[in-house]
């Protein structure tokens, strides 16, 4: 009787480990699906490949799946439209031009009255 229990427990533990590995390796794929990642299929396939490469790829798959978010893309977007960037760029250019003009006025030598050089030799 105890032999059958041990055999059943061994089969149960083996199945739990087998399916547990599959579930754990599917986590990056589930993250990619949840975030509507454009490379869901590649992440899923690489997860299976990672199982056969002693899990070497799995941490990188997790990072790859976490990088993308539908509302902000790959994280390089600040959420502003290109038009607002153009407006802010024009404002920055105008401010820099005003600053340059102020610096040029401050750098001009002061004019002293009565000492205008006419260019004629003495």
Length of the chain: 122
pLDDT in tens, 48-104: 999 889 889 999 999 999 999 888 788 776 666 666 666 778 888 999 999 999 998
pLDDT for 109 equals: 78
Q: Hey, where are the domains in the chain? A: 2-74, 81-105
pLDDT for 113 equals: 66
Maximum Cα interatomic distance, the chain, rounded to a whole number of Å: 128
Q: Is the pLDDT of residue 9 over 70?
A: yes
- State the DSSP H helix or E strand holding residue 66, giving kind and residue range, or none if neither: helix 58-67
pTM of the complete model: 0.57
pLDDT for 59 equals: 94
């Amino acid at each position: 009787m105890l032999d059958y229990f041990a055999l059943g427990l061994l089969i149960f533990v083996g199945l739990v480990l087998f399916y547990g590995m599959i579930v754990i390796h599917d986590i990056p794929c589930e993250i990619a699906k949840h975030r509507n990642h454009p490379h869901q299929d590649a992440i899923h396939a690489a997860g299976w490949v990672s199982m056969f490469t002693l899990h070497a790829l799995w941490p990188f798959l997790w990072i790859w799946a976490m990088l993308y978010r539908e509302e902000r893309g790959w994280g390089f977007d600040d959420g502003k439209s290109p038009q607002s960037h153009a407006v802010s760029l024009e404002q920055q250019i105008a401010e820099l031009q005003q600053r340059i003009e102020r610096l040029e006025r401050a750098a001009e030598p002061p004019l002293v009255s009565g000492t205008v050089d006419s260019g004629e030799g003495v």
